Structures are given as structure tokens and as C-alpha cells.
Amino acid sequence: MQGTMCGIVKEARGEGLVYKTDLPIPQIGPDEILIKVKAAALCGTDLHICDWDTWSQNRVRPPMVIGHEIAGDVVEIGENVTDCKIGDRVSVESHIPCKECWFCQNDLAEICKNVELFGVTVPGGFAEYAKIRSDCAFHLDDNISYEHACMFEPMGAGVHGVEAAHVEGKTVLVSGCGPIGLTAITAAKVFGAKKVIACDLIDEKLEIAKEMGADIIINSGKCDLVAEIKAMTDGVGVDAAIDITGAGAAINNALKSVRAAGRMVCVGLPSKEVTMDLTEDLIYREVEMTGISGRRIWGTWESFAKVMQDPRYKIERIIGHEFKMADFQKAIDEVKSGVPGKMILKP
């Protein structure tokens, strides 16, 4: 497709983003599709790119359109594309695997060693149109709105964390009740957890956790979390714990709350090294500890589609306000001032 479009651009190495109205519409290759973007969501990563922190400096190659949590309609397909057709409603997997490395060959594409990141290392989707390799498009059921479809990518980390925790029939601790933690709580219930305990430092978030399926809520700032959990599990501990916070103290508390031979899953990213007592808390107790990266392609997406349909999943608690892409700065300002929820941007 020829012509120009609007979009949010990282124009040069340095701070800031600009909204432009004269960008060329991306030209697709033989394996790619062109998506008319209907909705997008603002991510913490986009704020890092705006602020131009070290993480961004090492990955982003300006000038380019940013944004990676998007949904829209397929309007053009490349000559080799057989898995998408014009008119399909899709969302996008932001991890573009190489399909050739050892990990891709062993069904671990989410940790591909040559991964490209949509909207980070290659141009993204905060624009009227975006292109992506066709096998990175997730096909949406008709009953999923574009706004809700933008939640697959970011909330998928929470769902993947629950998948990695093997929760069926188990007592599970979810530490951290922001949007990803709340998603993990409902996901744990949907995947058959017997009991979900949610902890956070903020009572308002814990109330929402309860609405979204938590059986027990604990304000870990007001009590000794480990003692509290031991008391409610006959001194044994939870079968599995999922840390969403990435905070060292919270990770340690979650690890100590897991029973011997239980499972600990780290989802939240610590900003610095975390110290742990591996001898006492992990080795002697045979705890299994793992991390997750991104989403299983497409297992996590299909799981989340189920979670989204569950009446316990209150997606309106996950999504914040809606803005035109031209007003993206207002969305960033709201996030920075602490307004909760994922902000939606529309072309």
C-alpha cells in the first residue's frame, strides 16, 4: 500500500518521542502482513524508550515507529503468506523469533537467541499501519475487542508465570497485584489452583485481587508474610509462589513461603542483583525455581483467551484510559503520575 500515515516516532538518539503525520506506510516483504492498527497499549518499555535509558540505547535504532502491544485488521498480505488473509482480526506477538536457532528448533521460540522485538529493535505499531511477519500474528475470536486484544502481549507474562508454576490442585501465592499480578490470580483459578493467596502492600489493590479470584489477601507491609502463610498451611508453606514484583525483599519472602519441594516462579524483573540464601531456602529444601520470558507461542495466548472469557477476569480493572495517539504525552503523564491501568492509544 502506498501513501503516508500518522504515528509515534523515536526520531533520534536521545530523550523524547514525536507524533508525525507524514510517515511512509510500511512496505511489506513476501512473508509479511500489513495491519491497520485499531488499538494499541502503552507499556513501561515505551516509557524507557521515551526516556532513552541504557536498555533502550542498546536496542532501539532511530528513527522508527515504536509500540508493540497492538491489535487491528490485516489489510495486505505478502506473496508467500498462507496463514493470514485480508480482513483477519489480529494481535501481535512482539518477540519475533528467528525460527532457526537451537531454541526455536526445540519449541522454545520465546527465548530465541536471535529474537527481534517489535517496536524496539524493529519498527512497531503506534501508527495507522504496521507490518509484521505473518507467523507473529495471533488470530482473534470475534468476541474479543481490539482494546482487550492489546492485553495479550503484556498480560501474557502473568499467564506464562502461572503456566510455569504448575498450579492445578495447588495452593499458590501471587506476590504483587498490579495488572499482571491480577491477571495471574484469575489465570491460577482458571487453571485449577485449589487456593490462591494474593499479597501486596496496597489495600486497594488487594480488594481488586479478591474480585479477580484471590481466596485470601494479605497486606505484606502490615504483617510477617512468611509466618502468616506458614500459619495457614499447617506450617508447610504454599505449593507454588509467583513473584510479579521484581523486588528483592518480596522475592525472598515468596521463596521462604514456598514449601520444601515446591515451585518458585519469577516474573517481575529486578532492577538490580538480588541476594538469596540458596543453602537454606532452596538447596536443602529442594525448591524448584525458574523465570519466564515473554509468552509461549501460541500456548500462552490460547490460555489467556480462556482466562479473558472467565467471569472472574475483570478486564476493566486492567485497562486505564483511552487517548488518541496524537495525545500520547497525556497518556505518559498519567502513567508517570500513578494513574492505574494500561493506557490505550488509538490512531
For the bound state, the minimum distance from the C-beta of residue 202 to Zn ion, rounded and expressed in Å, comes to: 22
Q: Is 48 a catalytic residue?
A: yes
CB of 291 to Zn ion, least distance (A): 17
- Choosing from 48, 139, 166, 233, which is the catalytic residue? 48
Closest CA to 187 of 262, 248, 240, 109: 240
Which residues ranging from 143 to 162 are in contact with Zn ion (CB under 5 A)?
Answer: 154
Kindly state whether residue 276 participates in binding Zn ion, applying the rule CB under 5 A. no
- The answer to whether residue 229 forms part of the interface with Zn ion (CB under 5 A) is no
For residue 265 the three cell numbers come to: 516462579
Of 47, 75, 101, 108, the one binding Zn ion (CB under 5 A) is 101
- Residue type for 257, please? S
Decide if residue 112 touches Zn ion (CB under 5 A): yes
Rounded to the nearest whole angstrom, what is the least distance from the CB of residue 115 to Zn ion in the complex? 7
Candidate list 104, 159, 265, 345; residue touching Zn ion; CB under 5 A:
104
Contact at 8 Å (CB) between 173 and 229? yes
Tell me, rounded to whole angstroms, the distance of Cα 341 from its chain centroid: 13
Q: Does residue number 47 form part of the binding site for Zn ion (CB under 5 A)? A: no
At residue 268, what is the residue type? G
> Among residues 47, 98, 117, 232, which is the contact residue for Zn ion, using CB under 5 A?
98
DSSP secondary-structure letter at 275?
Answer: -
Instruction: Give Cβ neighbours of residue 194 (< 8 Å, ≥ 6 apart).
Output: 169, 170, 171
Q: In this chain, which stretch among 89-97, 270-278, 295-303, 309-317 interacts with Zn ion, using CB under 5 A?
A: 89-97
Q: Which of 45, 171, 186, 300 is catalytic?
A: 45
Buried b (16+ CB within 10 A) or exposed e, 31-70: bbbbbbbbbbbbbebbbbbbebeeebeeebeeebbbbbbb
Rule CB under 5 A: is residue 67 a binding residue for Zn ion? Answer: no
| Contact predicate 208/317, CB 8 Å | yes
CB closer to Zn ion out of 52 and 238: 52
Q: Which of residues 104 and 196 has its CB atom nearest to Zn ion in the complex?
A: 104
| Known catalytic residue at 45 | yes
Q: Is 43 an interacting residue with respect to Zn ion (CB under 5 A)?
A: yes
With respect to Zn ion, which residue has the nearer C-beta, 104 or 250? Answer: 104
User: Which residues, 6+ apart, have CB-to-CB distance to 259 below 8 Å?
Assistant: 233, 236, 237, 238, 239, 285
Strand partners, 127: 7
Positions touching Zn ion (CB under 5 A) are 43, 45, 97-98, 101, 104, 112, 114, 154
Catalytic residues: 45, 48
